[in-house]
Amino acid sequence: MFTILTALTALISVMFIVSVASTISALRREDAEVKALNEKHSAF
């Protein structure tokens, strides 16, 4: 019983870490796209 609870806790924490990492990478990607758009607009 204890091992099942430990495995579930580890799985949930890993999923949480993965979701946080994907959110951070998505935000960085959007930030890079915004910077690229700003550079294009500043050229005009």
Residues in the chain: 44
Q: DSSP of 6-23, one letter per residue?
A: HHHHHHHHHHHHHHHHHH
**Mean confidence (pLDDT) of the chain:** 91
- The residue that leads in pLDDT, 40 or 18, is 18
- Arithmetic mean of pLDDT, 3-16: 98
pLDDT of residue 38: 84
pLDDT of residue 33: 87
Q: What single DSSP character describes residue 30? A: H
pLDDT of residue 25: 94
Each domain of the chain, given as residue ranges in start order, spans 1-44
pTM comes to 0.63
